[in-house]
Amino acid sequence: MDRQPLTFFIPTRVVHGLGSVAGVPALVGSSGGTRVFLCADEGLTRAGVTGRVSGLLEAAGIPFVVFDSVEEDPGTRTVHSGVELFKAEGCDLVVALGGGSPLCAGKGIALVAANGGALTDYEGFNKASVGPYPVIAIPTTAGSGTEVSKVTILTDEARGFKMSILDERTFPRVAVLDGELMATLPARPALVAGMDALAHALDALWSVGATSFSDALAVTSAATIFEMLPRAALTGDLAAKQAMLEASSAANIATGTALPGLAHVLSQPLGRYHMSHGLATGIMLPHTFEFNLPVAAHTVAPIARLLGADGSEKELARWLLDRLWELMEEVGFPTSLDPSLVPLADLPILVEQCTKVVNYRLNLRQASPADLTELYMAALEEES
């Protein structure tokens, strides 16, 4: 039987290391930018991070405009406002600074500004006529990994649904990974981001699209996250923060190659409750792990070995699931959905939306609507 060749594609140039943000002006020039649209959020501006990057641009004589009104879980309205400012100011390059929200907003603005129309026109695969304006992505959290991703996740407020835009032209031109920018990041967003990164790694291993390249990146990045997340999030250890940033990007390259499995499918409909993507995915992760255990022990056993465990593949997989529960308890990460926020009456709606997520059929163990309901129920019952 003929087999289609597999591909590994990551066009983003990754610049990494403590202090690497100092090179942003040169990267703007080499990317062809003459007027920068600096996309951030108000928290970064208050913390002085936006000012650090804008100061570098100003010192280099590069014109820029700051758009720092990106909220958590941004969507069509934010992108529309950003596109209007981008065009009014005559910008030709986006520097997206922050966690997943500003990074995805910046990617969405660059795409819509180049193509016109509405953000919803580009949901799904390769809907744009032309590629976006160049994007330089500078993550200040180690989690979303969208700085090295063709996937952009933004909310369609009309549906209360986090939609996915997938297009190889939306890979950022450059990603700058500088752990120094995480120095002022509070513990909770650092933990939420870190669990998102871990979900990227594990979901990549549980995908039918997994390859030897994605597996290698997923296994090593997951092991790093298991080891480094508490120190990176709860202390001022810059080396640990840098390690988490690099592991986060590696995990997203893995999931971008394989495309993610069930944890991400289950998390997307939870955006209707204005729950961050990382929080929703992290909560659903151990429940998804348990569901996948009968068919996926061989995929996660190598992580357990890197962490020093011994045993059969089944024993190692169970050990790693137990380690995941322990990690979440150690750092105080929620393991359940709040029933006052996610009412039982909404489960049919959530399940239906899961079945419409573009990667619904990619999980190694296929989940029926009844399985999806049971997984949401397991996360709700964990509360009691």
DSSP state letters, 155-208: EETTTTEEEEEE-GGGS-SEEEE-GGGGTT--HHHHHHHHHHHHHHHHHHHTBT
Q: What distance separates the 2 farthest-apart alpha carbons in the chain?
A: 61
Q: DSSP code of 21?
A: G
The model's pLDDT over 289-339, given as tens digits with 9 standing for 90+, comes to 999 999 999 999 999 999 999 999 999 999 999 999 999 999 999 999 999
Cα radius of gyration (the chain): 20
How many of the other CB atoms lie within 10 Å of CB of 128? 18
Q: Three-class SS of residue 251?
A: helix
Q: State the pLDDT at residue 383.
A: 54
* Token pair for 259: 């495309």
Fold of the domain built from segment(s) 13-181: Rossmann fold (3.40.50)
Instruction: For the chain, give every domain's residue range.
Output: 13-181, 187-381
Of residues 88 and 2, more confidently modeled:
88
* Token pair for 198: 């871990």
Is 235 in contact with 218 (CB distance < 8 Å)?
A: no
* Token pair for 60: 């280099």
Q: State the pLDDT at residue 45.
A: 97
| Residue from 202, 220, 227, 318 nearest 310 by CA | 318
Residue 251 pLDDT class (50, 70, 90 cuts): very high
CA distance 44 to 42: 5
The model's pLDDT over 141-156, given as tens digits with 9 standing for 90+, comes to 999 899 999 989 898 9
Q: DSSP code of 89?
A: T
Q: State the pLDDT at residue 2.
A: 59
The CATH code for residues 187-381 is 1.20.1090.10
The model's pLDDT over 338-373, given as tens digits with 9 standing for 90+, comes to 999 999 999 999 999 999 888 899 999 999 999 999
The model's pLDDT over 72-86, given as tens digits with 9 standing for 90+, comes to 889 999 999 999 999
* Rounded average pLDDT over 186-197: 96
Name 96's bridge partners: 39, 137
Q: Three-class SS of residue 97?
A: strand
Residue identified by tokens 């909310």 is 155
* Rounded average pLDDT over 34-60: 97
Q: State the pLDDT at residue 274.
A: 83
345 burial (CB, 10 Å; 0-12 / 13-18 / 19+) is exposed
Name 98's bridge partners: 139
Of residues 1 and 156, more confidently modeled:
156
Instruction: Tell me the pLDDT of the chain averaged across its residues.
Output: 95
| Residue from 181, 175, 128, 148 nearest 31 by CA | 175
CA distance 261 to 186: 29
Q: Is the pLDDT of residue 384 over 70?
A: no
Q: DSSP code of 6?
A: P
Angle, CA 200 vertex, CA 261 and CA 324 arms, to 5°: 95
Is 163 in contact with 154 (CB distance < 8 Å)?
A: yes
Q: Kindly report the backbone phi and psi dihedral angles of residue 345, in degrees, each rounded to the nearest multiple of 5, phi listed first.
A: -65, -20
Q: DSSP code of 318?
A: H
Q: State the pLDDT at residue 357.
A: 87
| Residue from 283, 290, 292, 281 nearest 380 by CA | 283
Q: Is the pLDDT of residue 3 over 80?
A: no
